[in-house]
Amino acid sequence: MNRPSPVRDLMADAAFELAARLIAKAAPPAQRRRRDLARTAGRRINGSAAMLAASVLADSAVEHYRGSFANRAMYVPLAVAALTLSASLFGVADARAKKHAVRDTIYAAAAATGLAGLAFHSYNILKRPGGLCWHNLFYAAPAGAPAALMLAGLLGRGAERVRDTRTRAEPSVLGLPAGRMLAGVAAAGLAGTVGEAGLLHFRGAYHDPAMLAPVTVPPVAAVLLGAAALRPNRITNRFARWWLRLTAALGFIGVGFHAYGVSRNMGGWRNWRQNLLNGPPLPAPPSFTGLALAGLAALSLIEEASDG
C-alpha cells in the first residue's frame, strides 16, 4: 500500500491556498471591499477587547491585592484577563480573514468568567449587613470589572465571527447582522459603565465638575449608537461617530484626571503604594475607550450593510 507523501500534502495545501486567493481576487470589487472591511472591523474589535481586558487585568490586580486575595478564586480573573489580552493582541496582529479556534475559546472563557464574577460580586454585596444599600454599593466588590471582562469576551467572539465572513456573505453574529448586534453590545456596555462611573462619582460627591463628563458624554454616544443599530441613517450615523470618538478620547483624558486625583492624596505619588489602592482607579476610564472603539467598528459594518 502506498503511503501518502508529506511533500505531496504540502503541495496540495499550497495549491488550495493559491486557488482560494485567486477566487478572492476574482470576486467583484464590492465583494472584495466588503470582505476587507469585515477583516478590518474584526481586528478593530479585537483591539477594543484588548483594551477592556487590559483595564480588567490592572483593576482586578489592584483591587484583589487590596483584598489580600482572601479567596483563591480571586486569581482566576487575572489569569483569564491576561489570556484575553494576549489573544486580542494576537488578533490585532493577525491579518488573516478567518477566525482562530484558540482565540475563540479564550473569549468564551472570558465571557463565562465575567458572568461568574458578576454573580460573585453581587453575592458579596447582598451578604453584607444591610444588603442592597448605598453603603454596600459604594464599598463592596464592584460589578464593573467582571462585567467588563464579560464584554471583552462577547466582543472578542463577535470579532472572530466577523473575521470569518465569506467573500459573498454579509457579516453576521448568531444569525443577525454583525454591525447591529455588536453595536447593541457596545451600547449596553457603555450604559453599564456609565452606571458604575456615576455611582462612584456620586460617592465622591462630584466635587470636581470634570466628574460630570463620564455621566454626560458616553450616555449620548450609547443612545446614538443604539439608534444607529435600530434604524440606521446618515445623520444618526454621523452624530454617533463623532460622539463615539469623543467618548474614546474621554477614556484617555480620564486616566489623566485620575492620576491627578491620586497625586492629591496624602504623600502624592511618593506614597504610590498606598495611594494607588485608595484611588481613584487609573484602569477604569479606558473601558470607555474600548467600548467606543468597538462601537465605531460596528458602525462601519452598519454603514456598509446600508450602502450595500
What is the structure's pLDDT at 279?
78
Give this prediction's pTM.
0.83
Domain locations in the chain? Answer: 31-307
Average the pLDDT over each of 170-174, 208-212, 269-273, 285-289 and give the range with the smallest value: 170-174
Answer whether residue 254 shows pLDDT above 70.
yes
What is the structure's pLDDT at 9?
56
Question: Residue 277: which pLDDT band, with cuts at 50, 70 and 90?
Answer: confident
The more confident residue out of 20 and 189 is 189
Grid cell at residue 135: 453603603
Expressed in percent and rounded to 5, the helix, strand and coil fractions of the chain are 80, 0, 20
Percent pLDDT > 70 in the chain is 86
The more confident residue out of 229 and 22 is 229
Q: What confidence tens digit (pLDDT) does each residue in 114-140 have?
A: 999 999 988 888 888 888 888 888 888
What is the structure's pLDDT at 7?
52
Q: How far apart are CA 292 and CA 118, in angstroms?
A: 22
What is the structure's pLDDT at 257?
92
User: Are 60 and 285 contacting, i.e. CB atoms less than 8 angstroms apart?
Assistant: no
Amino acid letter for position 234? R
Question: DSSP string of 271-299?
Answer: GHHHHHHHS--TTSTHHHHHHHHHHHHHH
CA dihedral angle for residue 148, residue 153, residue 159, residue 160, rounded to 10 degrees: 170
Grid cell at residue 133: 444599600
SS3 for 308? coil
Q: Average pLDDT over the chain, rounded to whole?
A: 84
What is the structure's pLDDT at 1?
46
What is the structure's pLDDT at 78?
93
What is the structure's pLDDT at 213?
92
What is the structure's pLDDT at 258?
92
* Residue 176 per-residue DSSP state: E
Q: What confidence tens digit (pLDDT) does each residue in 92-119 have?
A: 888 777 788 899 999 999 999 999 999 9
Average pLDDT over residues 52-58: 92
Answer whether residue 232 shows pLDDT above 90.
no
Answer whether residue 68 shows pLDDT above 50.
yes
The more confident residue out of 93 and 305 is 93
Quick one: which of 82, 78, 84, 102 has its CA closest to 46? 84
The more confident residue out of 78 and 303 is 78
